[in-house]
Amino acid sequence: MIQVQIGDEKKNLEDVQPRWIHEQLARRRRDNPSVCVRVWIQTPQVNFVLSTPDCPPLGWGGVSLNPREQEIFDLWKKRGLKEPDFEGNDLWAFLKQVSKR
């Protein structure tokens, strides 16, 4: 299961569309340039949360990643989602790639 949370709105991946991502980011950035996006990934091989830089800490972390989780984390970084100025297209591309793997 993959879920996407932008601000306080959370959706299952199958309910996420590019338009929703862009609308959420634009609306929230109008009010405040910092936007928190989290992607929750739970599969038999993966169980972790990825967060953009402006998210408050969840209070857990520091756990070693398994090879699959490391691969997903590397993709998160490659798509620029560790940067505060990430774009909606970056998030959408990441989600499409992760859902195919």
Tens of pLDDT, residue by residue over 3-51, are 999 999 999 999 999 999 999 999 999 988 789 999 999 999 898 899 9
Q: Determine the average pLDDT of the residues in 79-100.
A: 94
CA distances from 94 to 39, 71, 87 (A): 10, 12, 11
Contacts of 40 (CB under 8 A, 6+ apart): 1, 2, 3, 4, 5, 10, 49
45 and 58 Cβ atoms separated by less than 8 Å = no
pLDDT tens-digit map of 47-66? 889 999 999 888 766 678 89
